Structure 1
Amino acid sequence: MNALPNLAAVTAVAVATVAFGAYGLRSRSTSDFYVASRTVSPLRNAAAVSGEYLSAASYLGIAGLVLTYGTDMLWYGIGFTAGYLVLLALVAAPLRRSGAYTVSDFAEARLGSRGVRLVATGFVVLIGWLYQVPQLQTAGLALHTVTGAPPRAGAWLVTAVVLVNVVAGGMRSVTLVQAFQFWLKLAALAVPAVVLVLVWRGAWHPAAAAHPAGTPYAAAPAAGPPFGPGGGQQLYGLYSLLVATCFGAMGLPHVIARFYTNPDGGSARRATVGVLALLGLFYLLPEVYGGLGRRYAPDLVPEGRPDTVVLLLPQRLVPGGLGEFLTVLVVAGAFAAFLSTCSGLTLSVASVLSQDIFGGHVRGFRKAAALAVAVPCALAMPMAGAGIGVAHEVGLIFSVAASTFCPLLVLGIWWRRLTAAGAAAGMLVGGALALAAVTVTVVWRPGPGWGGALLAEPAAWSVPAAFVTMIGVSWATRASVPARTAVVLARLHVPELLAGGPADRSARAGDRSARGRDRLSHNARR
């Protein structure tokens, strides 16, 4: 593989990301850095949400799972997309009407408890860092595969570019970058996919699809069932995966943060509908690479590199200059995936760290951003470049998100009897159970049997446990329901179209107050 064009593609994506991010140099206020002053249009926000959501797991990992296990892995794309349907129905508009900057703000405003806020902040940081680690690991694997660079180089590159963008302009900067990167990722997968399908159908001579060593390709790799030996275990694994992906989307901090950037609740709903359409289109593509990989690249499975099938398949099927060009496209799209997702995660972690540790002003946000990106980079270094099964690892992180923030948001928005003690207990129980299962799965790799199945896919029992705990403890402490619950719920549910209503007045007052604090802070620094 010619490393120079691929290195040029990576460099071009990094430069374009920084160039688009320069738009964020206009950011001056706290509202600019946290929520882009709540002025992002539904179409742009839909592209930005899709851009940050389509991570290494979507761009590379799903194809690797299909290559390894076959059509059962199509459920990943379905679950990742269906999560936004749940988010649309239950939380999109109320979250925007809350007027919050972060999920920690929402938790404190809804329950009037600093303790609940700190628990939420802890899980935002934990989920954000856990999610960033596989992105950086896969960046090292991808750069090493296509250029031969040291595995750690990819992680360092992504970290540096993300830090520059987030520190320079916060949410205003990252929004434009992520919208651009979604369209780049879509084109980078779609154009080669069309060519590869034409090769498969015979538009090019079949000899073009020959192994470099001259041996023919096997028909399909040999792999065991993805969710256990079959029967009840396999069915349980499938259902648990769907619970994790469908309910985990609303618990991802970087996804939640994007809904605070819409002008109003109606715009948040329209942006979510746009996300559903864009994701539905995108998730048609990884399956093409995984399916063709089972015919033309099965050797990647025993080599432990199934996540590289998207990067390697174009030149295996299309030799010469055209194959190199198609490889350049998919490499560019892969690094757009790493950069956009890491940018969103860094932004969400920096937002809560800034407010709870560094004072909440712009200078504090920049300090928090440096910490938010440095820690996962350090954690990823020992494993950079390893073949890790990124889609499955991210699916486990979805289980943690579904077991913590999903119950908090659903019950916080729709159940007036939720208490601070119940919310904190539910998040701690659900998060602890899911994290324990994830740790055992990643570190010790449990074997076959029901014990291994329950640990490998914990969402089906950890999410109900979180809901039951949150409801049970709230019922036991029902005397401590916040006094302002009715007012807060009215703000969440009353449409802004009711001009002059409480939601409209409070949201506008909150934005004016934020701008006032920004001016005071700026004058004090001067």
Structure 2
Amino acid sequence: MIDSWAALVGVVLVAVTTLAIGTWGLRFSRTTSDFMVASRTVRPGLNASAIGGEYLSAASFLGVAALVLTFGADMLWYPVGWTAGYLVLLVLVAAPLRRSGAYTLPDFAEARLQSRGARAVCSVLVVAIGWLYLLPQFQGAGLVLRQAVGAPPWVGTLVVSLVVLANVTSGGMRSITFVQAFQYWFKLTALLVPAAVLVAVWVGDGAVNPADADGPGSAGIWSIPLGEGGAQGLYVTYSLIVATFLGTMGLPHVVVRFYTNPDGRAARRTTLAVLGLLGLFYLLPPVYGALGRVYAADLADGGATDTLVLELPRLMLPGVGGDVLTGLLTAGAFAAFLSTASGLTIAVAGVLGQDVTGRRYGDRRLSGVTAFRVGAVLAVVVPGVLALASMDVGVARVVGLAFAVAASTFCPLLVLGIWWRDLTAAGAVAGLLVGGLGSGFAVAWTLLTTATEGWAPVLLGQPAAWSVPAAFATMVVVSLATRGRSRVDARRFMVRLHTPESLPLDRG
């Protein structure tokens, strides 16, 4: 039996609208460059909206509110870090990365280091991070449909997979750009309208202070330090800051969007606009978390905190009004899954299409567009199957781990590759392996064990504070030890990265 017709209608409308916009964008997609980077013609305003659409994932929509409900105001480090990461991206990476002329992160690594080995390691990491980030999107979609509509969890995963595949394989980056831009503004509206209504209800009820409410775990405590304070809490806080501040520049689906800008100046303008759009959006999820501490504190006791945003309207406003708001929020959440999953699929498909299916498929080489489409199928099927088979984990937790892996691998590669001429292929590969294997082990340990006592769960649950410095140090030390093997034209490539396109430059 369907629990909420309004939620079902909202999901159907979002899916149909997404397919309609993607189909409209299909008429602009003709070449491999269209599919991979929209022929590098996306203007800053449209690109910023598209980045906001794909970046604001299940963790942003459901996870932040759940964390604030459970742990209080200290969880605001997550949205602060996710937004501030674009400031680091703006200052250090955005424009030079666009000037590199790459299509993907492995393209950049090979062009900068002239190393097929570095490209291969980067390809593996892009796919691993992409699949790790896709997993909570598919799980979250199943959770939303189960909670709002009463459907089995596999239905949400299947619907998101099919819609994403239809859009990505038909129009690639061209189509997805229009889809994601629409989905940002729809998600913002879907959060803003119910939040305004619920705040009005809260004021009408006497405006109970969330800090005085019986919050989960500790009555009346609004701010519970990460790790319950002390040395462990301090470590967790700093590690979270490192992961979120530095992980953004290493996320494949974020980086690939900067390749779609016409030039480096447009890439910087895009990043600046994204900062404003994310700052506006992240004002809203904490409102739901704060209201949840007043009206839905018991959700934390049952381990259902990720459903807070969907449950809150019906708890605060019983009847048709609450059901309509739940439908709007359900549609917004589904848009979040679709937009983020689309961006990740594009990023992973680009790498798989170039470095796996594009090399040999059967006995013949695939065309660029066909290889991209085959890569998209692989990009979706693997995490989709894992989402159906794996345990249920918090969406914000898994996304946080993906940030830690990205910060431990691609952040050192991009920062040193763009700003340090002496980075060598051997140093880059060694650093990628140290950071990737270290943070990867931490991810596997965290997802497969339930230990909570001692320093081991703390160090492995938030690995960025040690894995990021280890990766940076390894790249520097090994590069210095192998300085004689650095590419001879590194200086020329560095000039290309840092010279504005408006200046005359021999790039031959």
TM-score range, shorter-chain basis? over 0.9
CA contact (8 A) 2:357 2:374 kept: yes
Aligned residue for 2:476?
471
SS at match of 2:357: coil
Tell me if 1:167 matches 2:165: no
Q: Distance in 1 between the 2:49 and 2:115 partners? A: 35
TM-score (norm 1): 0.91
CA contact (8 A) 2:132 2:398 kept: no
Aligned residue for 2:199?
197
Aligned residue for 1:483?
488
Aligned residue for 1:241?
240
Tell me if 1:375 matches 2:382: yes
Q: Distance in 1 between the 2:272 and 2:323 partners? A: 36
Tell me if 1:452 matches 2:457: yes
Task: After TM superposition, give the deviation of residue 476 of structure 1 in Å.
Answer: 0.7
Partner amino acid, structure 2, of 1:461: W
Q: Distance in 1 between the 2:31 and 2:18 partners? A: 22
* 1:412 maps to which of 408, 411, 417: 417
Partner amino acid, structure 1, of 2:127: V
1:190-269 equivalence runs, <5 A = 190-202=192-204, 219-222=214-217, 225=224, 227-269=226-268
Partner amino acid, structure 2, of 1:259: F
Aligned residue for 1:329?
328
Partner amino acid, structure 2, of 1:305: A
Instruction: Name whichever of 241-250 and 353-362 sits farther off.
Output: 353-362
SS at match of 2:227: coil
Aligned residue for 1:365?
372
- CA displacement, residues 97-152 of structure 1 (integer Å, 9 cap, x when unaligned): 01110001000000000110000000000000011011101110110000000111
* 2:57 maps to which of 52, 55, 62: 55
Aligned residue for 2:181?
179
Q: Cα distance 1:164–1:312, how it changes in 2: closer, same or farther (>3 A)?
A: same
Q: Distance in 1 between the 2:332 and 2:225 partners? A: 27
CA contact (8 A) 2:167 2:176 kept: yes
Task: After TM superposition, give the deviation of residue 440 of structure 1 in Å.
Answer: 1.2
Task: After TM superposition, give the deviation of residue 222 of structure 1 in Å.
Answer: 1.4
SS at match of 1:496: coil
Partner amino acid, structure 2, of 1:353: L
Task: After TM superposition, give the deviation of residue 2 of structure 1 in Å.
Answer: 4.1
Q: Distance in 2 between the 1:383 and 1:332 partners? A: 25
Tell me if 1:421 matches 2:426: yes
Task: After TM superposition, give the deviation of residue 367 of structure 1 in Å.
Answer: 0.9
CA contact (8 A) 2:3 2:150 kept: no
Q: Distance in 2 between the 1:24 and 1:30 partners? A: 15
Partner amino acid, structure 2, of 1:362: V
Q: Distance in 2 between the 1:434 and 1:222 partners? A: 30
Q: Distance in 1 between the 2:153 and 2:3 partners? A: 17
Q: Distance in 2 between the 1:431 and 1:461 partners? A: 12
Identity of aligned residues (%): 61
Partner amino acid, structure 1, of 2:249: M
Tell me if 1:13 matches 2:18: no
Q: Distance in 1 between the 2:100 and 2:73 partners? A: 41
1:70-219 equivalence runs, <5 A = 70-202=72-204, 219=214
Q: Distance in 1 between the 2:165 and 2:262 partners? A: 27
Task: After TM superposition, give the deviation of residue 265 of structure 1 in Å.
Answer: 0.2
CA contact (8 A) 1:65 1:389 kept: no
Partner amino acid, structure 2, of 1:315: R
Partner amino acid, structure 2, of 1:23: W
- CA displacement, residues 28-50 of structure 1 (integer Å, 9 cap, x when unaligned): 10110000010101001001011
Task: After TM superposition, give the deviation of residue 489 of structure 1 in Å.
Answer: 0.7
Aligned residue for 2:361?
none
Tell me if 1:443 matches 2:444: no
Task: After TM superposition, give the deviation of residue 448 of structure 1 in Å.
Answer: 2.7
SS at match of 2:226: coil
Q: Distance in 1 between the 2:274 and 2:326 partners? A: 27
Q: Distance in 1 between the 2:315 and 2:234 partners? A: 36
- CA displacement, residues 475-505 of structure 1 (integer Å, 9 cap, x when unaligned): 111001101101111110000121x323xx5
Tell me if 1:403 matches 2:408: yes
Q: Distance in 2 between the 1:321 and 1:173 partners? A: 36
Partner amino acid, structure 2, of 1:330: L
Q: Distance in 1 between the 2:4 and 2:389 partners? A: 24
- CA displacement, residues 455-485 of structure 1 (integer Å, 9 cap, x when unaligned): 1111000000000001111111100110110
Q: Distance in 2 between the 1:355 and 1:438 partners? A: 27
Partner amino acid, structure 1, of 2:151: A
Unaligned segments of structure 1, at least 5 residues: 210-216, 507-526
Task: After TM superposition, give the deviation of residue 25 of structure 1 in Å.
Answer: 1.8
Q: Distance in 2 between the 1:281 and 1:218 partners? A: 26
- CA displacement, residues 345-379 of structure 1 (integer Å, 9 cap, x when unaligned): 00000001111122261111111111111111011
Task: After TM superposition, give the deviation of residue 450 of structure 1 in Å.
Answer: 2.2
Q: Distance in 1 between the 2:336 and 2:454 partners? A: 35
Task: After TM superposition, give the deviation of residue 390 of structure 1 in Å.
Answer: 1.0
SS at match of 1:501: coil
Partner amino acid, structure 2, of 1:480: R
Q: Distance in 1 between the 2:443 and 2:355 partners? A: 27
Q: Distance in 2 between the 1:23 and 1:414 partners? A: 41
TM-score (norm 2): 0.94
Task: After TM superposition, give the deviation of residue 321 of structure 1 in Å.
Answer: 2.0
Task: After TM superposition, give the deviation of residue 233 of structure 1 in Å.
Answer: 1.0
Instruction: Name whichever of 230-239 and 100-109 sits farther off.
Output: 230-239
Aligned residue for 1:394?
399
Partner amino acid, structure 2, of 1:48: A
Partner amino acid, structure 2, of 1:376: P
SS at match of 1:261: coil
Task: After TM superposition, give the deviation of residue 401 of structure 1 in Å.
Answer: 0.5
Q: Distance in 2 between the 1:458 and 1:471 partners? A: 20
Q: Distance in 2 between the 1:435 and 1:227 partners? A: 22
SS at match of 1:228: helix
Aligned residue for 2:498?
493
CA contact (8 A) 1:228 1:449 kept: no
Task: After TM superposition, give the deviation of residue 329 of structure 1 in Å.
Answer: 1.1
Partner amino acid, structure 2, of 1:319: P
Q: Distance in 2 between the 1:134 and 1:266 partners? A: 34
Aligned residue for 2:340?
341
CA contact (8 A) 1:51 1:182 kept: yes
Partner amino acid, structure 2, of 1:403: S
* 2:38 maps to which of 36, 39, 42: 36
CA contact (8 A) 1:2 1:324 kept: no
Aligned residue for 1:279?
278
CA contact (8 A) 1:227 1:453 kept: no
Q: Distance in 2 between the 1:120 and 1:221 partners? A: 42
Q: Distance in 2 between the 1:28 and 1:361 partners? A: 11
CA contact (8 A) 1:351 1:368 kept: yes
